Structure 1
Amino acid sequence: MPEWIQDLIGDVTLVQVLLWVALVVFFVVVVKKAWKPLTEFVALVNALKELPEFITQTKSTLATQNQTLATQNQTLAVIKHEVLPNSGGSMRDQVDRIKHKLDNDNDRLDGLDQKVASLELKQIEPYRPQKGTP
């Protein structure tokens, strides 16, 4: 064996080499098994670091949404007031009045149509040929 290898190895025994190899293998196995939990722990720490900013953004978003919902509730109350009957002032009441007038007008027109048809028959009747006459 060359002299530089003997100087490098020195008085290391085979048992010492096997112990070092076993230690390296043990270290590799431990690191391999602990790697996933370690990366998850690092991810958790990073997420906790960003948590205060996330909470601030969430509070701001919720405040904006609450303001929007309040505005929408006011708008819906106005629409509801107009769509539901309320003693005469809503659009619904006006539509109901117009429908009632149209129903009355249709009834009157039906009656007038019957009278016109009756008058037409009376005017045509004298000019119809009588049965039994040539």
Structure 2
Amino acid sequence: MNLPGWFIDWAGDVTLAQVVIWIAIIVFLIWILRKSWPGLRAAIKLTDILSALPAFMEQTKNTLSEQDQKIAEIHHETHNNNGSSIKDSTDRIELGVRGLFDRVGILEETTRSLITSDAELRKDTANLRREFDDTHPRSAIEHLRDNPTQQGES
């Protein structure tokens, strides 16, 4: 086998055994790289995540501070604090509504009593008219209706 002269100059005194060893080493390195590639990718990803961690921690700290402030505002509004909270307003409204219920109850009782009294008065009025009609002749009643001014004179 005739090899070009430049190749012989370049290769020099390399033996076939050395070439096989170098090829074996290269194949072994490729195999190692291929087997370790998922781990290498995970290490790179972990490095990226860890580099973003300080910014994430600062953002989380700021978010928690904002939430603490909002929670304090909500706490202020939902607990009694001398009249300025929603809780105090709700208590005042409940007290007012309770008073209105009491007043409405009294009005209902009074209305029932008035309805009963009205029914009794209407019944009494009807009885009085019947008695009046029974005790006075019809002509006298018609005369009184026709001449209302003479009612007080007779």
Which category of TM-score, normalised to the shorter sequence, fits these structures?
0.7 to 0.9
Q: Which has the larger radius of gyration?
A: 2
Structure 1, gaps ≥5 residues long: 85-89, 128-134
| Number of equivalences | 121
For the aligned residues, what is the CA RMSD? 2.5
Counterpart of 1:79 in structure 2 is 86
Q: 1:9 to 1:109 in 2, by over 3 A?
A: same
1:13-52 Cα shifts (integer Å, max 9, x gaps):
1x33432332222112111111111111112222222222
Larger relative contact order (Cα-Cα within 8 Å, sequence gap ≥ 6) = 1
Identical counterparts, % of pairs: 25
Counterpart of 1:63 in structure 2 is 65
Counterpart of 1:50 in structure 2 is 52
Counterpart of 1:95 in structure 2 is 97
Counterpart of 1:12 in structure 2 is 15
Counterpart of 1:87 in structure 2 is none
Q: 1:124 to 1:24 in 2, by over 3 A?
A: farther
Q: 1:22 to 1:121 in 2, by over 3 A?
A: farther
CA drift at 1:116: 2.0
User: For 2:87, what is the secondary structure of its paired residue?
Assistant: helix
User: For 2:4, what is the secondary structure of its paired residue?
Assistant: helix
* Bigger mean CA deviation after superposition, 21-30 or 104-113: 21-30
CA drift at 1:58: 1.5
CA drift at 1:96: 0.6
Q: Distance in 2 between matches of 1:76 and 1:54?
A: 32
Q: Distance in 1 between matches of 2:11 and 2:43?
A: 41
1:116-131 → structure 2 map (5 Å cutoff): 116-124=118-126
Counterpart of 1:27 in structure 2 is 29
Residue type at the aligned position of 2:38: K
Counterpart of 1:112 in structure 2 is 114
Q: What TM-score do you get using the length of structure 2 for normalisation? A: 0.65
> Which stretches of structure 1, 4 residues or longer, exceed 6 Å deviation after superposition?
none
Q: What TM-score do you get using the length of structure 1 for normalisation? A: 0.73
CA drift at 1:99: 0.8
Residue type at the aligned position of 2:112: D
